[in-house]
Amino acid sequence: MEHSGVSRGLPIAPEKLRLFFNFYFHFVTTCVLRKRWIGLTIMSVEDLNIEHLENEFAPILNLSATPQVKQPAIEYFLGLTGSDDGKNFIGNSTKFIKCIIELTDDRDDVVAEVACKTLINLATKDTICSRILSSDNFPDVVVKKFEKILNAEYKHADLVCKFLSNLTRPEECARKVADIMKENEDKLKISKFVSVLCKIDHNKEADLHYLAPILANLSQIHHIRDEILSRDQWVIQRLLPFVNYMESDIRRFGVVSCIKNCCFDEEHHEWLLSDKVDILSSLLLPLAGPEEFDDEEMEKLPERLQYLPPDKTREPNPQIRCILLQAILKLCATKKGRLFVKEKNTYIIIRELHKWESQRSNIIPIMNLIDILIGDEPEEGMENLHQVEIPEHLKEKFTKEDQEDEKEYMQ
């Protein structure tokens, strides 16, 4: 449950009062110790309210303020984001949020870095993400932040990526950001960001791994997926090699999640499974181990999965293995997709994975996929698994059976 916020112009609740008084005391003390005087009016407890606080502190959290004043202020605000109370206190003030966003562009690197970290922490709460996106100037902020990611010399690009990754996590927020990108598609084409992601040394000051989760979050939105799946832009084909990018779990997780989201759109399945993309090989390869098969079984496999070396290892991250399985399941939604996946002898890869898998939460998706691969085709009119409506009592029955199967397997 989210903590209730403080209404502008009303007295602050006791816990918020203590929170701010600690801040106020610590900040003034810090400035005095640094022999800096700031023109704050020491107010009575009865007068303490959010509007007053905004008016008092907005001039300090400002680009025009001196570093000696704004640095301890923004550092303390960063400290406040270490708790939910602190995040809610800041997040319920549009003015504070606006000031922090402005300070991410401060000429003082320390101030800019701390402001970015403060935003990253604030954006871990969905309610604050929505408030950030509701500010009047946020479309311009989105454009500027994404342009900074494209800037090969911007030293805080990683922090901006982490902020945008958190901000776009809720689907509603991802939609708002995606719409802003669409309105500015000349500057913010998805293909540009994929190009940056694929160029490992794009920015000497940043690794940009968190750009992948941004793409994953945005791919929740249909028109973003359309850009990624554009047949003349060569976008998803450039992402596929990063399914095996072992240097970063974050980048690999983001890319795999993005690819899975793209598998929701059935109209693209035939193209994705064709030689022009060969998505099935990319999804199966991380799930394959060093097992040997007889020649007949081997020849049925996609070429990239044939005669793998004896030291071949599987994807080490159980979450990523689960997403890969979910993506293959999506490709089995239609009859044509199922038949293709079956013909490529996917079953023997998943069968061996089933023997090897130790992550409890992955057993059910493995078993669900095996059921599809070895089961009979659905009757006429029920070929599209996404369109089949399952009665609630059957859903409960299947869930119970899944849980029993999982328990039996783990024993």
pLDDT digits (tens, 9 = 90+) for 144-164: 999 999 999 999 999 999 999
Taking 80 as the threshold, does the pLDDT of residue 12 lie above it? no
Distance CA 207, CA 173 (A): 25
Mean per-residue pLDDT, 117-130 = 97
Distance CA 332, CA 280 (A): 11
pTM higher than 0.95: no
In the numeric block, the tokens 């001039």 are attached to: 59
C-alpha closest to that of 317 among 367, 254, 380: 254
Mean per-residue pLDDT, 314-340 = 97
What phi and psi values does residue 11 have, to the nearest 5 degrees?
-60, 145
Q: Which of 142-146, 232-236, 393-397 has the lowest mean pLDDT?
A: 393-397
Give per-residue pLDDT as tens, 46-98: 344 677 778 878 888 999 988 888 888 899 899 989 989 889 888 989 999 99
Distance CA 267, CA 22 (A): 57
